[in-house]
Amino acid sequence: MTISTLQKARYSYNPKLPGMLRNGIAEICVKNGAPTESVADQEKIKALFPNTYGKNEITFQKGANTSTAKKQVVGVILSGGQAPGGHNVVCGLYDALKATDKDNVLLGFKGGPSGLIEDDYIEMTDEFIDQYRNTGGFDIIGSGRTKLETVPQFEIVTEVAKKHGLTAIVIIGGDDSNTNAAVLAEYMAAHNTGVQVIGCPKTIDGDLKNEDIETSFGFDTATKTYSEVIGNIERDANSAKKYWHFIKLMGRSASHVTLECALQTQPNICLVGEEVAAKKQSLSEIADQIADSVAVRGNRGDNFGVALIPEGIVEFVPEFSKLIAEINELLAGEKTEQFNALPSWDDKYAFIEKGLTAESMAVFSILPVGIQQQLFLERDPHGNVQVSLIESEKLFAELVKNKLAERAAAGTYTGKFSTLTHFFGYEGRCAFPSNFDSDYCYSLGYNAFMLIQYGFTGYLSKVSNLSAPAEEWVAGGMPITKMMNIERRNGEDKPVIRKALVELDGAPFKYFAEHRAKWADETCFLYPGAIQYYGPAEVCDATTKTLALEQAK
Ligand code: FBP
């Protein structure tokens, strides 16, 4: 395999473990914490997880290893979207497993949860693992979005586990995958299979976060990667002084990624979906808010700027959600065929006008034609609008243009408005992990094995105190059921890990809210530059602004 110079250099990077895990396997013991209960709906969650509910929080500490020696055969899967550092979780798991007993075995099931069901796997060896140390991507075994949640699937997994003599399964995934890890752990315990299940918190979206999990891995690298490019664009905008850049950023639902990038780059505008929902803002109001900044700047000759838009924004706009619900209804069942048979867009438009309420039609009519057509033509397998495909960066660029035309006609705007649009998502999901993610992920994997070795199941690998140097990080485990509550999903009450949205009274949003008026009017851009891997710790090991603000004493 040909490799880049950086890749070669990264192979020899030694990820930093929390101090308590640094003295060798023989010197790691368990410190029991308090028994846990779920964040809400305690009785219901307890009834659903009789074998795994209420267990103690634990941390590891320096002391004689008292775990029972037994041969471990561990299966690992990567689940969902790629996130930088996933390879290091596998490497940390492998190293701890082999350091405990070189006869222990790690099987990587390929292509996500489906690999476990199809029994498609590879046995990890030193040579194999060494090619992936401190590198981005999930290509070590691939990933997938199959959900592991039904009893027939669990029965197959039990058979596969029996065939290989699996003692444990590690699921590296987001909130849904870890919810499923908890359900699988309960199933395995209830059926006395002897298979433990451990989860690891992954997602660039940063929405798997709670009082126990300070951040999901990948968020640090992805946001630094996007921020580097946003900073470059800001500098270009400030050099050419002729474009407004509308940049959409990944984050399926929550706006953590966009907010973090704003804290790193200080753009003129940053939309936060959770605020839009709280204020029940309309598309027109949001466009006016952006147009205010464009006008103030343009009227004094600064015809440039940068606006950040979270991927999930439109779903937070109440009138837009209503419109989507009506469109889904309008095209339910065989009505889709009826609609598709209409010969021209004009005929289709007339059909839409007849079917939507006046309120939703008012929203629909202000959308650019490309987006109007997209809403009706590109549907998911269930026939629903694919909201995540909506090009909201183009939508807002167009809506703002219309607002400025009105202002120009009224004589309140004299600037020029040229836009460029961008979408950053896949560019950051497989970046070389930052030192933070390299260290954090390796620690999560190493720690996951210690949880297995000490017999825990239904736990999430937990490494905390993350804004301190790695030496002071705290490694341990948290029963996944502690993070669960009951939510309505697809018409059913389900036990799930609550998705963490941006908190409007949290420190990161408050900092942004205090500064945004200045950023909107003036040019306060920050140019963070590329992630640095070698050099002073304050440059190379810095965490995200989000984490630093959340943990500021
Ligand atoms: P996970 O929640 O699985 O980590 O995925 C996050 C994400 O990158 C979102 O930001 C994005 O909306 C989605 O995955 C895109 O995934 P896909 O390419 O599978 O559509």
Q: Given the residues 95, 175, 205, 212, select the one marked as catalytic.
A: 205
Answer yes or no: are the C-beta atoms of 112 and 143 closer than 8 Å. Answer: yes
Dihedral sign (CA 188, 191, 192, 194)? negative
d(CA 249, CA 307): 11
Q: What is the DSSP string of 76-101?
A: EEEBSS--TTHHHHHHHHHHHHHHH-
Residue with tokens 């993350």: 466
Q: What is the DSSP string of 303-335?
A: --EEEEEETTHHHHSHHHHHHHHHHHHHTTTTH
Answer yes or no: are the C-beta atoms of 280 and 219 closer than 8 Å. Answer: no
Three-class SS string for 334-345? CHHHHHHHCCCH
Query: Is residue 204 lining ligand 1, measured as CB closer than 6 Å?
Result: yes
The DSSP bridge partners found for residue 123 are: 107
d(CA 71, CA 506): 46
Q: Where are the beta strands (DSSP E) in 24-183?
A: 28-35, 56-62, 73-78, 105-109, 121-123, 168-173
State the pLDDT at residue 318: 95
Q: What is the pLDDT of residues 249-292, one digit of tens each?
A: 999 889 999 999 999 999 999 999 999 999 999 999 999 999 99
State the pLDDT at residue 334: 79
Is 205 among the residues known to form the active site? yes
Distance from residue 148's CA to the centre of ligand 1 (Å): 17
Query: Is residue 252 lining ligand 1, measured as CB closer than 6 Å?
Result: yes
How far, in whole angstroms, is CA 542 from its chain's centroid?
Answer: 20
Answer yes or no: are the C-beta atoms of 247 and 427 closer than 8 Å. Answer: no
State the pLDDT at residue 191: 97
State the pLDDT at residue 553: 63
Query: Is residue 256 lining ligand 1, measured as CB closer than 6 Å?
Result: no
Burial of 59 from C-beta contacts in 10 A (0-12 / 13-18 / 19+): middle
d(CA 245, CA 224): 19
Residue nearest to atom 4 of ligand 1 (CA): 203
Query: Is residue 458 lining ligand 1, measured as CB closer than 6 Å?
Result: no
Positions in the chain whose pLDDT score sits under 50: none
pTM for this prediction: 0.95
Distance from residue 121's CA to the centre of ligand 1 (Å): 24
Residue with tokens 């941390």: 59
State the pLDDT at residue 388: 76
State the pLDDT at residue 379: 72
Q: Which of 417, 423, 414, 422 is nearest to 304 (CA)?
A: 417
